[in-house]
Chains A and B, each alone.
Chain A
Amino acid sequence: MNALATIQRQIQWNRLIAVVEEQAQTMIRTAFSTTVREAGDLSAGIFDLEGRMMAQAVAGTPGHVNSMAESVGHFLAKFPAHTMRPGDHYITNDPWLGTGHLHDLTVVTPAFRNGKIVALFANTAHIIDIGGLGMGPEGRSVFEEGLYIPIVKCFDQGRPNETFFDFLRAGSRTPVELEGDVYSLCACNDAGAKRLVEMMDEYRMESLDALAAFIFEASLRATEEAIAALPRGSFAAEIRSDGYEAPVVLRATMRTEERRILVDFAGTSGLSTRGINVPPAYCRAYSCFGIKCVVAPEIPNNWASLRPFEMIIPEGCILNAPRPYPVSVRHVIGQLLPDLMMGCLAQAVPERVNAEGSSALWNPPLRGGAQVSGQAAEVEDFEIITFNSGGTGARPTKDGLSGIAFPSGVRTMPVEATENVAPVIFWRKELRPDSAGAGRTRGGFGQIMEIGAKNDAEFAVNAIFDRVANPPKGRFGGLDGAPGWVGLDDPNGTVLRTKGFQVVPKGRHLVLKLPGGGGYGDPRARDPALVARDVANGLVSEEAARRLYGWAG
């Protein structure tokens, strides 16, 4: 290849990444579900005709990484590329062919240039309602969790599949938003395809094969180099989740080899009867993300850069849920996997790994009105979810982040906006003092949230919270973060279960205390000026500062 072509390949790769970013931004601007437009719970990418992901938008959430990447292959198995026509759009929410629960829609769209199919665009978005029990852990099989969409065409050569849309609307509590979201997903793939064709015209490219080969080769080589630089060995770690009916142990043994990292989840607990089970693609997604953040954060996601991370997930364990096990809230287990991976990597590269964090989102699904109180309802029907987070784990040279989503990449919505879409009042939402795990660098602080319905009416929460019985652990002498707490604002401090549907009685508020992140290193080695700052800011009590940090103030 001559020098100019070398440079042009780079430019084209940059352009592809810009194209998928545009695709994602289009979705964020046009989507209806707050989960997409406010929270950014989505992903977008471009694939070659063999279903290999060439580029993925950096906007988006890691849980969709490589679960969406695997998904396109399933679409091609059912609808081979040569049968696709311009204007076709394909859709599914099958947890085992998509990204792990019925609330995620994946849409695949072929891109054509001069009548010839040249690539596929795919995206995934978490929509607000898909019928069934709603977002929560209570289902005992996937069939209770909502409307199940096999891989079908939602648009056929530009014409909407009205039968599909009829079923879709009939099966959701929020039909207008859901239909609008499907339109938005299709529009964003179209936007990507249009940009791609412009680039191919500019560089007179007949196919993407050569570019794909270049991207895959460079990404694989860089990833392998990053892996080769790690100490070789076998590193085991374990983490405990509160589980639903019983605590869950997640265990992993990671082997670093010359060109790959192999993770074996042997020893992990068995399946749950409730919706916290994790389909295997989702397990790979979050495990891969956790490793990649530490080992090769700057290498873009694509088929080749994800390939050197291999997972053995034994059958029958909670990380390899088979159909039709319930999987609705698989994130509550899945989002602990980066902490588990870092537990392994802490033995190989301690200076690059964080302490454990709150990790699993604290996203309370709230419901009220007749669906909770029947004819006694005192508020209009509502169904909302907000995305909130506790503290992240302390970093080797920096404190953890307070009330920040990690590993999930979602955003929360303003309280004012939430109160405008549903009859709820947030009475309190602020940082939780003394919740950060102490350390040379401390964890991030959790939050305290207190939520009621308007006029203090009855409402319900479909709890999906973790890290209550098993707080985030510190590393290398750092202390654990504060455990979470779920309960009511009554004088007895009534405690609620961490998982499952529960009614908050009239006159009461729901109180959530979100966990803090674990600390890193000996707290007594912490810079006293930083301790004093936290005390002055009312985030660390004087008593705790003296006891944990030896503060003399």
Chain B
Amino acid sequence: MAPSDRPARVRLAADIGGTFTDVALEAEDAERSVTRWTAKVLTTPHAPELGVLEGVRVALARAGLSAADVTLMIHGTTLATNALIERKGARTALLTTEGFRDVLALGNESRYDQYDLNIELPEPLVPRRWRLPVPERLDNTGRVLRPLDEAALRAHIPFLRAEGIEALAIGFLHGFVNPAHERRAAEILREEWPELPVSLASEVSPEMREWERFSTTVANAYVQPLMARYLGRLEAGLREMGMGAPLFLMLSGGGLTTIETAARFPIRLVESGPAGGAIFSAHVARQRGLEKVLSFDMGGTTAKVCLIDGFAPQASRSFEVARVGRFKKGSGLPLRIPVIEMVEIGAGGGSLASLDAMGRIQVGPESAGAMPGPACYGRGGTKPAVTDANLALGRYDAASFAGGTLALDAAAAERALREHVGARLGLEPGMAALGVVEVVDENMANAARVHAIESAKSYEGRAIIAFGGGGPVHGYRVAEKIGVERILVPSGAGVGSAIGFLRAPVAYEVVKSLYTRFGRFDLAGVNALLAEMSAEAARTVAAGSFGAPTTETRLAYMRYVGQGHEIAVALPARPLTEADVPALRAAYDAEYTRFYDRPVPGSDVEVLSFAVTVSTVVEEVLPAAEVEDAPAPAPLRVQQVRDTATGEVSPWPVYDRAAMAPGARVAGPCIVAEDETSTLVGPGWSCRMDGLGYLELTKERAA
């Protein structure tokens, strides 16, 4: 590229995943025409920045650009998550209210599985000897019942030093209402031990519920030194390459933030990869004007589903990380941070099938992983995985899987299916394979159904956006099970999360608890809190938005007095007036009725907390142009495929996605193949390539 044609804007995104680090680069010229290059390199777990730097070099070389041309770099990483799963974070201590040393160990005193006598509970990140009590106590209104015993606090410091503590969390009961004791404790620590990183519960997660708040704060402290070191090395590496562009980090809530904020609250980075996937889907939905979609990302070990309405993924405030019990809810560490609401289940290509005591086929969450992998990989795996079942159904061609880079052993797949599933049920390998795939599709459909119910949403008129290696393979059958009649398989799906990063706004969400009831609504108190939260969010965003226009959204989390679960109701982004109060109460009743059919008579409503998000305005997307019909390409080959709905085997033509022109239409049953995945077009479905090069599958009603 000659210097005069230098693009006006070059944006780069890198997503570190478990196996691969994906890089996407987009260059925009003066006419705002965008060109994209991507790169996929192996993740380098010992020093993840090396993989990122390598991927960046590859992508820049492909684009013929230099590091100096880059105007913005966005990054997401699973580093924090991995540190929590593998317990490789800092030696972390917790200073907490005397009498409450074991909040992290006791949790909610429950078991996540009623019948399993041998369950393991997750060990707290901080062992008991480093959870140190400090005399002090506040009541629920923030009033001091017992002053902070500063001498007792100071007396702990020599022990912490002797133990080689590297990070500290401070969390006191009701400290989110009145942070004075936590702040004073931090001040003392700063005086005595300025280099020790300190996380305050009242800053990391200022919400009611001590277990969740302390757990989040401790996790923040636990990953902080590691993330700070990593981000420092990455930044230095990028500078060395000659990159002067600012570096932004992807947050689990779906917004971007500056490196300074990320270093302060690294726990907000945990789910950034999946968040990128959801934003990718939201962008595809926007391009196609689809108001209601389900993002369906199926990979090697898990599947993630996420509802996206009005082009915005659903937000949530709670999340569980590092589950120890087969992905079971309640078996992980609770985190209370802004996240994109999604359901992740142990269902992927590597998920293993077996029979239980009743002869029922079970699939996952155990996974064959990359080693030994499914039986058909011929690397020593003997148990049947979902990939083996897909092969035995005739969905994959043994010779051309993954672009022909991995020859599959069909006999090994059938042997595994016969031994572990078919023999006891009296099923031939083909039918055993059908059983395995139906069960995994049903598991994903159940997860999607529950997700919709929990969000009071339906699948009527909704489209699925399918990506990841397995999404396009399993998409049509999952769609049939939940009653969806349209599927979109975008291009670039192999690096979906990285592309999603490029579409994310610079955003920051502040959540704070303030208790009030509609019966005696504390208008002044609420307005003061919202103004303060708004200023904090705006300040954080301003550091990275470079004056771009922003938008603000405000939510209140409310429930009927005495109920346990809150519903979010939108507030206007301005000071509230007396007139707003009854309107909000009415909005709550309406929202409650949408969830649960009828409001509850005679009950007052209470507000528990508020959320304020400031975000740069998402760039407008040009609507996709309609394309004229084009002729279908000739099929590459024909495969004998067993239909999982009827059990019948019939010839399915296989088309090359790269050979399809926009406007080309092929009728199901058939397969549209590409290197990274195959799109299955089931019987009664048809598939057309749209003007963006995306595959659009629609179900014919009469079929």
Interface residue ranges, A against B (CB under 8 Å): 3-4, 6-8, 10-11, 13-15, 18, 21-22, 25-26, 28-34, 36-38, 40, 58, 60, 62, 174, 176-177, 179-180, 183-184, 187, 190-191, 195, 202, 218-219, 221-222, 225-226, 292-294, 296-299, 352, 354, 387-389, 395, 397-398, 401-406, 409-417, 419-421, 425-431, 447, 450, 454, 536-539
Contacts and interface: CB of A to CB of B under 8 A. Distances in A.
Contacts of B106: 402-403, 412, 429-431, 447
Nearest to A17: B446
A29 B565 contact: yes
A129 to B, nearest CB: 11
A389 to B, nearest CB: 5
B646 interface: yes
B358 A37 contact: no
9 contacts: A25-B450, A25-B454, A187-B597, A225-B357, A297-B115, A354-B117, A419-B140, A430-B99, A430-B100
Given A18-B449, A18-B450, A190-B597, A296 B357 contact: yes
B128 interface: yes
B603 A414 contact: no
A397 B117 CA distance: 11
B99 to A, nearest CB: 4
B431 interface: yes
Contacts of B597: 187, 190
Contact of B173 (A176, A412, A415, A539): A415
A450 B481 CA distance: 53
Nearest to B96: A430
Interface in B599-627: 600-603
Contacts of B595: 29
A40 B115 contact: no
A415 B210 contact: yes
Nearest to A386: B109
B304 interface: no
Interface in B428-445: 428, 431, 434-435, 438-439, 442-443
Interface string B94-120: 000001111001101111011111111
Contacts of B110: 40, 404-405, 409-412
Contact of A298 (B356, B427, B646): B356
A403 B431 contact: no
10 closest Cβ contacts across the A-B interface?
A: A37-B564, A428-B99, A537-B128, A411-B110, A297-B115, A411-B108, A4-B647, A222-B357, A430-B102, A3-B431
Given A297-B117, A395-B118, A420-B140, A176 B565 contact: no
B358 A401 contact: no
Given A15-B446, A225-B357, 12 more contacts: A3-B647, A4-B647, A6-B425, A32-B562, A183-B600, A191-B453, A222-B358, A297-B115, A401-B119, A411-B108, A414-B212, A416-B174
Contacts of B481: 202
B94 to A, nearest CB: 13
A401 B115 contact: no
A417 to B, nearest CB: 7
B147 interface: no
Given A183-B598, A387-B109, A414-B208, A62 B114 contact: yes
Contacts of B359: 218, 222
A218 B550 CA distance: 60
Interface string B677-689: 0000000000000
A22 B449 contact: yes
B360 interface: yes
Given A297-B116, A538-B128, A388 B109 contact: yes
A454 to B, nearest CB: 7
A36 B564 CA distance: 9
B439 A14 contact: yes
Given A22-B453, A38-B564, A429-B99, A416 B117 contact: no
Nearest to A13: B360
A414 B210 contact: yes
Contacts of B438: 7-8, 11
Contacts of A294: 117
B145 interface: yes
Contacts of A28: 564-565
A267 B64 CA distance: 88
B129 interface: yes
Contact of A402 (B99, B105, B117, B560): B105
A416 B140 contact: yes
Given A10-B361, A18-B446, A411 B109 contact: yes
Nearest to A14: B442
B174 to A, nearest CB: 6
Chain B interface category by residue count: 35 or more
Interface of B: 99-102, 105-106, 108-111, 113-121, 127-129, 137, 139-140, 145, 173-174, 208-212, 356-361, 425-428, 431, 434-435, 438-439, 442-443, 446, 449-450, 453-454, 481, 515, 560-565, 595-598, 600-603, 646-647
Contact of A539 (B128, B561, B598): B128
B560 A7 contact: no
| Most chain A CB inside 10 Å of its own CB: which residue of B117, B127, B431, B481 | B117
Contacts of B210: 414-416
| Most chain A CB inside 10 Å of its own CB: which residue of B106, B211, B560 | B106
B511 to A, nearest CB: 16
Contacts of B602: 176, 179
A49 to B, nearest CB: 23
Contact of B117 (A21, A219, A293): A293
A343 to B, nearest CB: 15
Contacts of A410: 109-110
Nearest to A59: B114
Given A409-B111, A411-B110, A412-B110, A417 B209 contact: yes
A409 B647 CA distance: 42
A214 B586 CA distance: 48
B596 A30 contact: yes
| Most chain B CB inside 10 Å of its own CB: which residue of A31, A36, A299, A429 | A429
A199 to B, nearest CB: 10
Contacts of A3: 426-428, 431, 434, 647
A26 B137 CA distance: 36
Nearest to A388: B109
| Most chain B CB inside 10 Å of its own CB: which residue of A30, A292, A299, A426 | A30
Contacts of B453: 22, 25-26, 191
B99 A450 contact: yes
A469 to B, nearest CB: 24
Given A30-B596, A425-B145, A406 B111 contact: yes
A487 to B, nearest CB: 17
Contacts of B99: 426-430, 450
A33 B561 CA distance: 10
Contacts of B100: 415, 428-430
Nearest to A300: B358
A180 B450 CA distance: 23
B563 A398 contact: no
Given A416-B173, A416-B210, A450-B99, A7 B434 contact: yes
A350 to B, nearest CB: 13
B450 A412 contact: no
Contacts of B515: 420
Nearest to B565: A29
Contacts of A536: 129
Contacts of A183: 598, 600
Given A31-B564, A450-B99, A299 B209 contact: no
A38 B140 CA distance: 19
A347 B583 CA distance: 66
A312 to B, nearest CB: 25
A26 B434 CA distance: 32
Contacts of B596: 26, 30, 184, 187
B23 to A, nearest CB: 39
A398 B105 contact: no
B600 to A, nearest CB: 5
